[in-house]
A and B are shown apart, each in its own frame.
Chain A
Amino acid sequence: MSETPLTPPPAATPAAPAGRTVDEIKRDPLVAAAVASSGDAITGAKEFAGEITLIVDRERIREVAAAFKAAGFNYLVDLSGVDYSTYPNYTGARFGVSYTLYSFEKNGRVRLKVTTDENTAIPSVTSVWKTANWHERETFDMLGVEFEGHPNLERILMWDGFNGFPLRKDFPVRGIDTGARIYPEVFPEGGGPMAGSTGKDVKDVNVYKGEWKRYGTWPMAEIAARAAAGGQPPAPELGDVVAPTAEPTPDAPWHDPEKPLPERMQLATAGSLKDKLFAAMAQTDCTACGWDCEGYADAIARGETSDLTLCVPGEEETESMLKKLMAEAGR
């Protein structure tokens, strides 16, 4: 076998000269026949790095795909989508979907492109190429772009019931809290490593201690707002999360995260040790320690925990005040 002569490589399509007009690109020998039979469904064309991209009317993509297949592009190489919502100076519909086609006869690739938004489905091309099936499922799974006429449009990489579309630009890179709901008794919703933990100590790992309302959830509204404004989604710190329960009450007038520590301590001077400890907390009810603020104070006062370092948003200030109070109480 190793003695066989060299077969000369077929000439690849020569790189097209840059800076051609839309009409010149459409007349390129690679695509001319297919473009002619697609008529006015092709609304634009561009060229970059020797690759031709044809912009296609969304409603007529299936028809155009069939025309290209008839013209020799019988291999659908790739189908994928792009979320253009944070693309600089972009004004079109949110999603772009690219179809990369290859013709064995002409040995060349062409890209068809359609745009759509969250609510408008694209006609599926599974009836033209069988291979489009999984590609369209993946695009739906990752971006939430729907394909009308697909035989089985369900999630493929993520699991059924997953909430969100990971490749949308407003989906946080760090992921969302899925709560590991399949084993609620082992992994309570929001369980996981402690905020700000070093990972070196047993206490860095959360153990479920009752109601977990907000720990580990993501401030979705804020993420969406920042993404819409063109910024990076924030990496939420638990200390920034202020629960709606963080409101002053007649029993606990100091329970207000806006008040500075000395003022809170002033309000609690007449109270019990638990009240003083409660006033020293950051008052956000963020539950990073495992309780709300009152619960943590109560746990310290009753001796349930002796760890005074768990208040993440209170930082150094709260920790030293807790130590001082405990020292004053002789414990």
Chain B
Amino acid sequence: MFDVHEMEVNFGPQHPSTHGVLRVILKIDGERIVDAKPIIGYLHRGTEKLFENMAYPQCIPHTDRMDYVASATNNLGFVEAVEKLMGVTAQIPKRAQLMRVMLSELQRISSHLLWLATHAIDIGAMTPFFYCFREREQVLDLFEMYCGARLTLNCMRIGGMPDDLPPGWLNDVERFCDKFDAAVDEYESLLTTNRIWKRRTVGIGVITPEDAIDWGITGPPLRGSGVEWDLRRAQPYECYPELQFEIPIGKNGDTYDRYLVRMAEMRQSNWILKQCIPLIKATPEGDIKAKISKVVRPPEGEVYHSIESPKGELGYYIVSDGKGQKAYRCHVRPPSFVNLQALPAMARGHLVSDLVALIGTIDIVLGEVDR
């Protein structure tokens, strides 16, 4: 029988809670979601096509523009994939490795802060936004000190880093780290035991560990479902094996657990940063580049390399024909794209206002979804 109560509405692409241009076609029965269909591609810029037509080092600024709130990890994934293709991974100096780790952990903090600020404001909590942006600003200042840019960093090179650390940078990082744990306490005091916050997040969008793996979900949403899996530990890269950190996991796989996981991850990143500072002080200054040819001309072959970006597994699949300085094909496996796919499964049966919470909890960046 035709159900007269069901109707179809467009959610987005210009809705403020879609964090970009995501359109979801909702089939609703009153306030309840019967089905959802995400429509993407509004931000498609053909990045993979561009990669095929420029030399490897020229691709790095383009990787910035995929997940534009976490560009350091995008750079890291790309340069590591090319290094793996060239077989020079072992030659990266210790100092460059530590700098990469520090920049990516700072980036993880800034990405999670942006997520928390917008996620909270979507659900209706205005105040955390101001607190989060206070700290995020300091992280962006640290990026600016290092490479001059705040958002699109372009801060890594194939074989090492573009520049040594500026004087005083480590002290500033140290000062930030000392204060940051208290700042996370502050955010948690606003939300973690807040009754409204819990009513809006507990039990919303539950995803079981089996389903999460079947949907290919990675990053905090996977760990929120209770799977203890982090690429920094499972397939370690750079100098992560030498660093201590915990992999926070959730129990119920709902929006609240994913929130807790990300909050704990910020503390873990801060802990990693604190460990890096004495280690990097012990390395010789200026030793930031492997002695490899400046012309990047990898041999024929194909590699897949992935790193743990703030949003999940960020992978690069590069095919080289061994003939030139350009990739024959470079495919990006963006975590947001894959995680977003599970949105309909998570949203069915919930209210339209919960969809806003669900889009926030997946932590998508449309620049990365559409590339």
Q: Which of A49, A82, A131 contacts B328 (CB 8 A)?
A: A82
Q: Are B49 and A167 in contact (CB under 8 A)?
A: yes
How far is the CB of B276 from the nearest CB of chain A, in Å? 15
Quick check: is B278 within 8 A (CB to CB) of the other chain?
no
Quick check: is B148 within 8 A (CB to CB) of the other chain?
no
Q: Are A134 and B234 in contact (CB under 8 A)?
A: no
Quick check: is B236 within 8 A (CB to CB) of the other chain?
yes
Q: Which of A78-132 contact B (CB under 8 A)?
A: 78, 80, 82-83, 87-88, 98, 100, 104, 107, 109, 111, 129-131
Closest 5 CB pairs of A and B: A131-B216, A48-B301, A80-B331, A157-B41, A78-B333
Quick check: is B291 within 8 A (CB to CB) of the other chain?
no
Q: Are B341 and A131 in contact (CB under 8 A)?
A: yes
0/1 string, A128-163, CB within 8 A of B gives 1? 011101110010001000000000000111110000
Size bracket, chain A contacts? 35 or more
**Whole-angstrom distance between the alpha carbons of A173 and B371 in the complex?**
15
How far is the CB of A13 from the nearest CB of chain B, in Å? 9
Size bracket, chain B contacts? 35 or more
State whether A1 and B246 are in contact (beta carbons under 8 Å apart), knowing that A9-B236, A134-B338, A156-B41 are contacts in the complex: yes
Quick check: is A12 within 8 A (CB to CB) of the other chain?
yes
Residues of A within 8 A of B (CB): 1-2, 4, 6-7, 9-10, 12, 48-49, 51, 53, 74-78, 80, 82-83, 87-88, 98, 100, 104, 107, 109, 111, 129-131, 133-135, 138, 142, 155-159, 166-167, 171, 173, 175
Which chain B residues lie closer than 8 Å to A80 at the CB level?
A: 317, 331, 333
Q: Are A76 and B216 in contact (CB under 8 A)?
A: yes
**Whole-angstrom distance between the alpha carbons of A6 and B242 in the complex?**
10
Q: Which of A6, A10, A77, A83 contacts B315 (CB 8 A)?
A: A77
Q: Which of B131-184 contact A (CB under 8 A)?
A: 181
Quick check: is B84 within 8 A (CB to CB) of the other chain?
yes
Q: Are B235 and A12 in contact (CB under 8 A)?
A: yes
Besides A82-B329, A88-B323, A100-B304, 5 new A-B residue pairs in contact (Cβ under 8 A), listed by A number: A75-B213, A77-B333, A87-B328, A131-B338, A166-B49
Q: Are A130 and B317 in contact (CB under 8 A)?
A: no
Quick check: is B241 within 8 A (CB to CB) of the other chain?
yes
Which chain B residues lie closer than 8 Å to A100 at the CB level?
A: 304, 315, 317, 333
How far is the CB of B112 from the nearest CB of chain A, in Å? 16
**Whole-angstrom distance between the alpha carbons of A135 and B331 in the complex?**
11
Across the interface, name the chain A residue whose C-beta is closest to B298: A49
Q: Are A74 and B214 in contact (CB under 8 A)?
A: yes
Q: Which of A1, A76, A98, A167 contacts B267 (CB 8 A)?
A: A1
0/1 string, B83-126, CB within 8 A of A gives 1? 01101000000000000000000000000000000000000000
Q: Which of A51, A87, A111 contacts B321 (CB 8 A)?
A: A87
Quick check: is B303 within 8 A (CB to CB) of the other chain?
yes
Which chain A residues lie closer than 8 Å to B333 at the CB level?
A: 77-78, 80, 100
Quick check: is B356 within 8 A (CB to CB) of the other chain?
no
Q: Are A53 and B302 in contact (CB under 8 A)?
A: yes
Quick check: is B200 within 8 A (CB to CB) of the other chain?
no
How far is the CB of A104 from the nearest CB of chain B, in Å? 7
Which chain B residues lie closer than 8 Å to A134 at the CB level?
A: 337-338, 341
Which chain B residues lie closer than 8 Å to A158 at the CB level?
A: 41, 44
Quick check: is B215 within 8 A (CB to CB) of the other chain?
yes
Which chain A residues lie closer than 8 Å to B53 at the CB level?
A: 173
Which chain B residues lie closer than 8 Å to A129 at the CB level?
A: 214, 216
Q: Are A49 and B84 in contact (CB under 8 A)?
A: yes
Q: Are B233 and A157 in contact (CB under 8 A)?
A: no
Q: Are B233 and A9 in contact (CB under 8 A)?
A: yes
**Whole-angstrom distance between the alpha carbons of A77 and B50 in the complex?**
23
Q: Which of B46, B85, B247, B304 contacts A166 (CB 8 A)?
A: B46
Which chain A residues lie closer than 8 Å to B323 at the CB level?
A: 88
Which chain A residues lie closer than 8 Å to B306 at the CB level?
A: 77
Q: Are A77 and B216 in contact (CB under 8 A)?
A: yes
How far is the CB of A257 from the nearest CB of chain B, in Å? 32
How far is the CB of A147 from the nearest CB of chain B, in Å? 16
Across the interface, name the chain B residue whose C-beta is closest to A4: B246
Q: Are A109 and B234 in contact (CB under 8 A)?
A: no
**Whole-angstrom distance between the alpha carbons of A131 and B335 in the complex?**
12
How far is the CB of B39 from the nearest CB of chain A, in Å? 9
Quick check: is B229 within 8 A (CB to CB) of the other chain?
yes
How far is the CB of B97 from the nearest CB of chain A, in Å? 16
How far is the CB of B12 from the nearest CB of chain A, in Å? 15
Quick check: is B308 within 8 A (CB to CB) of the other chain?
no
Quick check: is B48 within 8 A (CB to CB) of the other chain?
yes
Quick check: is B293 within 8 A (CB to CB) of the other chain?
no
Across the interface, name the chain B residue whose C-beta is closest to A96: B319
How far is the CB of A156 from the nearest CB of chain B, in Å? 6
**Whole-angstrom distance between the alpha carbons of A238 and B46 in the complex?**
24
**Whole-angstrom distance between the alpha carbons of A28 and B213 in the complex?**
25
How far is the CB of A110 from the nearest CB of chain B, in Å? 10
State whether A49 and B246 are in contact (beta carbons under 8 Å apart), knowing that A77-B306, A131-B214, A131-B216 are contacts in the complex: no
State whether A6 and B49 are in contact (beta carbons under 8 Å apart), knowing that A75-B216, A77-B315, A130-B214 are contacts in the complex: no
How far is the CB of B261 from the nearest CB of chain A, in Å? 12
Residue of A74, A80, A104, A109 most packed against chain B (CB within 10 A): A80
Q: Are B236 and A12 in contact (CB under 8 A)?
A: yes
Q: Are B50 and A173 in contact (CB under 8 A)?
A: yes
Across the interface, name the chain A residue whose C-beta is closest to B246: A4
0/1 string, B352-371, CB within 8 A of A gives 1? 00000000000000000011
Q: List, sorted by A's number, 20 A–B pairs whose CB atoms are closer than 8 Å.
A: A1-B246, A9-B234, A9-B241, A74-B213, A77-B216, A77-B333, A78-B317, A78-B333, A80-B331, A80-B333, A88-B321, A104-B227, A111-B304, A130-B215, A130-B341, A156-B41, A159-B41, A166-B49, A167-B329, A171-B49
Which chain A residues lie closer than 8 Å to B227 at the CB level?
A: 104
**Whole-angstrom distance between the alpha carbons of A158 and B46 in the complex?**
10
How far is the CB of A27 from the nearest CB of chain B, in Å? 22
